[in-house]
């Protein structure tokens, strides 16, 4: 059973516009959420995180929104740049004294110049 | 500051063989997690090591085992390789002990089992 789902395998956005990547989860015990970006032949790069006690976290062009009642989080990239073209993964973990992250299947973002 | 490094970059093994993958943590990080990423999938958690002890495990059989050394570097060992073990193996290091943490990934080892 896939506890973290990214239902859009791919997304294309024009340069300068907003990119919105979505992630849904089923486990209400998830306490902490991360977004990663992955380029080919590289490991995932940490982008931004959010705790379940918040509903928004912002870092430069990247903002993550968490809707706990809907078990949904989204990553907004504004403005989108061609260098943002990559695969984006969301990951979630419960707090059981240790954090074991469950990843979604990823969304491939293509920013068109 | 040195990032997470992994070796080797690529590896080809035959079914039934054993393999050891290596990971050097980012400086100052005391925790290492290993993930398996199959083609078209997200990383799947294998296990985590903290202070040289296994600190959590995903749904992987016992033929997947690991070690963490005093310098926080780590090994992933896989025995009796199967074709389905072909994947990208990622390690991620972090600092644990003060609540949630971000993990920093290495570039991965691409394992092909024939």
**Is the pLDDT confidence value at B1 over 80?**
no
Shortest alpha-carbon distance between residue A85 and chain B (Å): 17
pLDDT in tens, B79-107: 999 999 999 999 999 887 655 677 889 99
For the segment B5-24, the average pLDDT, to the nearest whole number, is 97
For every residue of B58-91, DSSP letters joined together read -S--TTEEEEE-TTS-EEEEE-S--GGG-EEEEE
Q: Tell me, yes or no, if A104 comes closer than 8 A to chain B by beta carbon.
A: yes
Q: Which of A109, A91, A92, A100 is nearest to A30 (CA)?
A: A92
pLDDT at B56: 87
pLDDT at A22: 98
Task: Mark out chain B residues that contact chain A at CB-CB < 8 A.
Answer: 4, 6, 33, 35, 40-45, 48, 50, 55-56, 58, 90, 92, 96, 99-108
For every residue of B43-59, DSSP letters joined together read -EEEEEEETTEEEEE-S
List chain A residues with CB under 8 Å of B58: 100
Q: Which of A44, A62, A2, A113 is nearest to B93 (CA)?
A: A44
Instruction: Return the SS3 of A28.
Output: coil
**Is the pLDDT confidence value at B15 over 80?**
yes
Nearest CA in chain B to A40: B107
List chain B residues with CB under 8 Å of A51: 100
Q: Tell me, yes or no, if A106 comes closer than 8 A to chain B by beta carbon.
A: yes
CA dihedral A7, A13, A19, A23 (to 10 degrees): 10
Q: What band does A66 get if pLDDT is binned at 50, 70 and 90?
A: very high
A18: tokens are: 């907003």
Shortest alpha-carbon distance between residue B102 and chain A (Å): 7
Residue of A31, A32, A100 lying closest to B45 (CB–CB): A100
pLDDT in tens, A84-106: 999 999 999 987 767 788 999 99
pLDDT in tens, A26-36: 999 998 999 99
- State the Cα–Cα distance between residues B36 and A89, nearest whole angstrom: 14
Average predicted confidence (pLDDT) for chain B: 91
Average predicted confidence (pLDDT) for chain A: 93
pLDDT at B67: 95
Interface residue of B43, B45, B58, B109 to substitute, partner A, most A CBs within 10 Å: B43
pLDDT at B90: 96
**Is the pLDDT confidence value at A109 over 80?**
yes
Shortest alpha-carbon distance between residue A80 and chain B (Å): 23
- Judge: A100–B106 Cβ closer than 8 Å, yes or no: no
């Amino acid at each position: 059973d896939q506890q973290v789902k990214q239902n859009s395998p791919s997304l294309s956005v024009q340069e300068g516009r907003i990119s919105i990547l979505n992630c849904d989860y089923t486990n209400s015990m998830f306490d902490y959420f991360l977004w990663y970006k992955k380029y080919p032949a590289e490991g995932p790069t940490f982008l931004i995180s959010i705790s379940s006690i918040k509903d928004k976290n912002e870092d430069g062009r990247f903002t993550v929104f968490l809707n706990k009642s809907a078990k949904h989080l989204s990553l907004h990239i504004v403005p989108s740049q061609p260098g943002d073209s990559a695969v984006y993964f969301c990951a979630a973990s419960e707090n059981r004294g240790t954090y074991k992250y469950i990843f979604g299947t990823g969304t491939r973002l293509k920013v068109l110049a | 500051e040195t990032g997470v490094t992994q070796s080797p970059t690529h590896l080809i093994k035959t079914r039934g063989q054993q393999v050891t993958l290596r990971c050097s943590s980012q400086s100052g990080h005391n925790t290492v997690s290993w993930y398996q990423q199959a083609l078209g999938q997200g990383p799947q958690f294998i296990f985590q090591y903290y202070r040289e002890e296994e600190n959590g495990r995903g749904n992987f059989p016992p033929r997947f085992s690991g070690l963490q050394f005093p310098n926080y570097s780590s090994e992933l060992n896989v025995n009796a390789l199967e074709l389905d073990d072909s994947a990208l193996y990622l390690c991620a290091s972090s600092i644990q002990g003060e609540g949630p943490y971000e993990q920093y990934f290495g570039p991965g080892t691409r394992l092909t089992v024939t």
